[in-house]
Amino acid sequence: MYRKILGVAASALLLGVVACTDDNPADANAVLPGSSGSHESSSSLEGTVPGSSSEGAENVSSSSAVGMSSSSVGAAGVSSSSKAEKPKKNTAACLWRGVDKKTYVNTEFVDVDIGNYAGLWYNFDDDPDGGMSRVVFPEVCVFETPEYECMENLLEYYGGYSGAIVLKKGILNEALAGVGFNIAGVENPDEYYTKHIQRYGDISGWGGVCVTYAADREMFLRLGADSVTFYEAKLDKSTEFVEKCVPWSEFVGATATATSTAAEAAKHAHSIRIVMKSVEETRGHFNIAAIGKFDAKGACEVDGFAYVVTKSSNGAEVGTIILRSSSSSGVGGSSSSFTPSSSGDCVSPESVSNLWYGPKAIDIYDYHVETGLDNGTGTSGYWFSFDGENGKANVEWPLQQWQYVYEDGLYRVVEECKGICGTFKFIDESVTGIGFNVAGVVFHGNDEVPDIADISAWGGLCVTYAAETNMDVVLSNDTTYTYVEKMALLPKVSLPKSTEVKTVCSKWSDFVTYAETPSDPTHVASILFAAYGDAGSASKFNVIGVGKYADAKNVCKQGAEPFVSRQFLPND
């Protein structure tokens, strides 16, 4: 049985993640002419198949753990010697890094022209043997014609092969699931999803394997010698990314069929896998950032540290591990934040709000953002709100009679709030917010979609606001009104909660994804102000000014009450 994360044509091998199994005798027999095994295919994000359940692993001796070059956080399991004393890594031995966004490991058997699936990452589980384990990935699939580009997005936004492993034994004595790649691929790539003939390769010359990872449970690095034979070495739990280099001599037999040494088995190997296993039902998280050949000095340079999601949002569950750049302080990075001042050499909030400033709005033409980039339809800059998925959250305006037709009554909001104010309300845990289209919309019959604009000349954004919860300023390139689903993929900066008026100015380089991927200000459809909340929660907000980036050092205090407390009467 096989499952794939996304459908990939043979000609588009590198665009997907394929889950396959080769350790189930019914599915992956020895490489003999005409041998095959049946399997199923699916578009599920859940994992697939290992074959036979494994025996408990023996303890292995301590192998080389090489620290990552992070300027902010030290790697777990690294010696206390100074960074200057650390030996230079043999980067020529590095076979794959997630930050390079390649969906396959360069096993040296990869043949892109033939497309034999060598080195392509996949996930597997114990379902064929009666287990109920699975691998779960963050929701990063975005439909881009003609493919679902899941793996590419996973690497871009999480910095590596990141996910959760749910271990449930079912009828087995031990639960098992993980990820891996085939050394030499398959004999019949054109029929990969219907027939499976495993290819083997000689990787004894690698000397072993280096893996850079972070995980909240111990894992095991496995060498697959045939359909039922494995050798493995333990990867200790690590709260930071660490590179562990394991020579073949430290791989021990994990199955009863493992009678030779791993060095001998590596001459005829089919896969490298990284697994979690347990005799109890449990859950773990992992992020595989790099793979290399064995070198005691290390093989892959990966700069960064482990950021662990502490609140479920953007399609990533609590515990998800993200590789964050060590040169950044996180989302919102180096944004300039100003607490308004009432004295000293200060600049007015209006002076950094040259696109729109609520307190100066005097007629209906002042109630939208003057982007200067309207596409000729006269639809740019008009404020709108967006709800959470399936109506789980919404924006409540301070206007009873215009709650559902706010476009017609938005000028009343601005008059009352001296900005765009309201309440984020959460029926369930979700996201909601407000925004405006930069260039306006494009009409297609009775439908309209946001147009794309180049806002790079602005240099960034200054936002004057007050909010009872953190908000994200998000740059959306979505032209299908599906930005709620894509929110995890979009670059953003954070506006910290403040019950007093506050100004935050951010350069475009400050707008980054969770994996620190920078924004592309030349390709923006909408600017969104998004907030996340727990079920039953509510928080007030007011966006008062929006302007092009300014290197202001001190912004004068506005003084006005930022939140509206009065509700308009129906006939007011």
CATH of the domain at 358: 2.60.120
Instruction: Tell me what pLDDT residue 277 has.
Output: 96
Are 187 and 290 in a shared domain? yes
105 in any annotated domain = yes
Statement to judge: residues 480 and 535 lie in one domain? yes
Whether residues 316 and 428 fall in one domain = no
Residues 317, 362 within the same domain? no
Last residue of a domain, which of 300, 324, 348? Answer: 324
* pLDDT of 138 over the 60 cut: yes
Judgement on whether residues 359 and 316 belong to the same structural domain of the protein: no
Average pLDDT over residues 410-430: 86
Shared domain for 31 and 135, answered yes or no, is: yes
**Is the domain of 118 the same as that of 180?**
yes
Determine the pLDDT at residue 517: 77
Asked whether the beta carbons of 325 and 542 are under 8 A apart, the reply is no
pLDDT at res. 420: 92
When pLDDT is averaged across residues 107-134 and rounded to a whole number, the result is 84
- For residue 91 the two structure tokens come to 């980067």
- Is residue 559 in some structural domain? no
Q: Does residue 387 share a domain with residue 251?
A: no
Give yes or no: residues 305 and 374 share one domain.
Answer: no
Task: Determine, yes or no, domain membership for 555.
Answer: no
- State both tokens at 355: 């696109």
Mean pLDDT of 20-33: 30
Q: How many percent of the chain have pLDDT more than 70?
A: 72
61 CB burial (10 A radius; 0-12, 13-18, 19+): exposed
Among 412, 411, 367, 420, CA closest to 529: 420
- Based on the domain organization, do 180 and 260 belong to the same domain? yes
**Average pLDDT estimate for 477-490:** 86
- Considering its fold, how many domains does the chain have in total? 2
What pLDDT score does 49 carry? 26
What is the per-residue pLDDT for 141? 67
The answer to whether position 169 is within a domain reads yes
Sheet holding 526-533, edge to edge: 383-386, 430-437, 526-533, 471-476, 492-495
Which of 281, 299, 324 corresponds to the end of one domain?
324
The answer to which of 284-298, 455-469, 473-487 has the lowest mean pLDDT is 473-487
The whole-number pLDDT of residue 184 equals 92
Lowest mean pLDDT, pick from 274-278, 323-327, 347-351, 488-492: 323-327
Cis bond leading into 146, ω under 30°? yes
Q: Give a yes or no: residue 571 inside a domain.
A: no
Mean pLDDT across 99-105: 90
Domain assignment of residue 263, yes or no: yes
* Structural domain for 71, as ranges: 3-324
Q: Which residues of 138-160 are buried (b: 16+ CB within 10 A; e: fewer)?
A: bbbbbeeeebbbbbbbbbbbbbb
* Confidence band for 272, pLDDT divided at 50, 70 and 90: very high
Q: Residue 224 falls within a domain, yes or no?
A: yes
pLDDT tens track for 180-191: 999 998 887 766
CB 546 within 8 A of CB 361: no
Asked whether residue 138 falls in the same domain as residue 22, the answer is yes
What's the predicted TM-score (pTM) here? 0.54
Within this chain, do residues 228 and 340 fall inside the same structural domain, yes or no? no
Q: Is the pLDDT of residue 217 over 60?
A: yes
Residue-wise pLDDT for 300-357, tens only, equals: 999 888 888 877 665 678 899 999 865 433 333 334 444 444 444 678 888 899 999 9
What pLDDT does 333 receive? 35
Work out the average pLDDT over 21-42.
29
**Which of 148-152, 216-220, 493-497 bottoms out in mean pLDDT, i.e. has the lowest?**
148-152
pLDDT at 281 over 50: yes
Distance CA 433, CA 385 (A): 6
What does each C-alpha distance from 561 to 191, 300, 565 come to in angstroms?
67, 54, 10
Query: Residue 84 has what pLDDT?
Result: 46
Give the pLDDT of residue 76: 33
Confidence of residue 557 (pLDDT cuts 50, 70, 90): confident
Cα distance between residue 471 and residue 494, in whole Å: 6
Evaluate if residue 456 carries a pLDDT over 90.
yes
Last residue of a domain, one of 324, 357, 379: 324
CA atoms within 13 Å, Cβ hemisphere of 95: 27
| Overall average pLDDT of the 515-542 stretch | 91
Whether the predicted pLDDT of 234 surpasses 60? yes
Is residue 375's pLDDT more than 90?
yes
Whether 296 has a pLDDT exceeding 60, the answer reads: yes
Q: What is the mean pLDDT of residues 478-491?
A: 86
Those residues with Cβ within 8 angstroms of residue 318's Cβ, 6 or more apart along the chain or in another chain: 309, 310, 311, 312
Residue 563 located in a structural domain: no
Q: What is the mean pLDDT of residues 136-160?
A: 75
